[in-house]
Amino acid sequence: MSAPLSPLSIDAALALGAARIDSDSARLDTELLLCHLLDKPRSYLFTWPERTLTDAQQTAFMALLERRVAGEPVAHLTGLRDFWTLTLEVTADTLIPRGDTEALVEAALELLPDGPFRVADLGTGTGAIALALASERPHWQVIASDWVEAAAELAKRNRARNAVQNVDVVTGSWCEPLSGEFDMIVSNPPYIEADDPHLSQGDVRYEPLSALVAGESGLADIRLIGEQCRTKLKPGGWLLLEHGYNQAQSVARLLSSLGYSDIGLIRDLAGQPRVTRARWPG
């Protein structure tokens, strides 16, 4: 028979996690794990810091903490990630939505008002971008594509979870499953070089390489999307692509060589080059 556990309060659990997790967000990581475990909002942790965990809760918390200390992403441990105004289910089949990508959402919303526009999100993953756009523009028709069947099914579940009606999810590579022309096409494609040292660090170690890595110094999929979108964009339609902080000039040159115009750069909240927009002439 195992010895009873020493009582662990919420405050003590937060301090333990903040001390043990090797992350710039160690305290927040611990808060999210506790909220998931207790099924409570973060405000509960600060309102009742002296509350002690039950033995079962403490055992579960320690197990989650050990996995986080080993490097597993919080989103994989809780199965959820907030993005924009949405709460999304997350699995190991897709990228974990990141705050940097909200720069793409903001840029897209600034370019087109609400109305009967057709918009596509290529490589949708969790559906984060498509669902964020559709939630803000209920009269847009948004098509979300992904070549991974499990990712497409995940996007459908997130569509239902967030009660977003105006998104259709299709399976296929980039523009291949799309029919008709679009007023805007957006994408957060793979853009990391295969030998990038960041691939062996942090959360990305647990994410699918196929969603992260691209050839041609990270530009292969961006080039392919740029080529395909020339026959899918309406004259005057917009293409928005997320990319690495050091790829803006290369992406701009690539899109210019493919015939796009009105090329512009959008920075993320940290001031880093994050998204390039371009227009198909017309």
pLDDT of residue 1: 45
User: What is the Rg, in whole angstroms, of the alpha carbon atoms belonging to the chain?
Assistant: 21
Are 86 and 172 members of one domain?
Answer: yes
pLDDT of residue 128: 98
pLDDT of residue 192: 76
Are 61 and 190 members of one domain?
Answer: no
Residue 128 or residue 71, greater confidence: 128
Are 62 and 90 members of one domain?
Answer: no
Q: What integer is the mean pLDDT of 63-83?
A: 95
pLDDT of residue 196: 66
Spatial separation of the C-alpha atoms in residues 27 and 45, rounded to whole Å: 12
Which has the minimum average pLDDT: 150-154, 217-221, 254-258? 217-221
- Where does the pLDDT of residue 68 fall: very low under 50, low under 70, confident under 90, or very high at 90 and above? very high
CATH number of the domain residue 16 falls in: 1.10.8.10
Of 56, 57, 47, the closest CA to residue 13 belongs to: 57
Residue 218: C-alpha distances to residues 99, 121, 145 (Å): 21, 19, 21
Q: Is 37 part of any domain?
A: yes
Are 165 and 257 members of one domain?
Answer: yes
Q: Is 5 part of any domain?
A: no
Please give the tally of structural domains in the chain.
Answer: 2
Residue 249: what residue type? Answer: Q
> Would the pTM count as exceeding 0.85?
yes
Are 151 and 199 members of one domain?
Answer: yes
**In the chain, pLDDT over 90 holds for what percent of residues?**
84
* Residue 205 pLDDT exceeds 80: no
C-alpha angle 69-75-77 in degrees, rounded to nearest 5: 55
47, 70, 93 — which closes off a domain? 70
Q: Is 75 part of any domain?
A: no
Averaged confidence pLDDT in the chain: 93
Q: Is 3 part of any domain?
A: no
Are 94 and 206 members of one domain?
Answer: yes
Of 182, 255, 190, 186, the closest CA to residue 220 belongs to: 190
Are 132 and 212 members of one domain?
Answer: yes
Determine contact, residues 125/81, Cβ cutoff 8 Å: no
pLDDT of residue 214: 66
* Residue 209 pLDDT exceeds 70: no
Are 48 and 129 members of one domain?
Answer: no
Which has the minimum average pLDDT: 139-153, 181-195, 237-251? 181-195
* pLDDT, tens digit (0-9, with 9 covering 90-100), for 76-131: 999 999 999 999 999 998 999 999 999 999 999 999 999 999 999 999 999 999 99
* pLDDT, tens digit (0-9, with 9 covering 90-100), for 188-201: 998 777 766 666 56
pLDDT of residue 195: 66
Q: Is 58 part of any domain?
A: yes
Are 157 and 40 members of one domain?
Answer: no
Residue 118, domain extent = 80-279
70, 100, 118 — which closes off a domain? 70
pLDDT of residue 112: 97
CATH number of the domain residue 217 falls in: 3.40.50.150
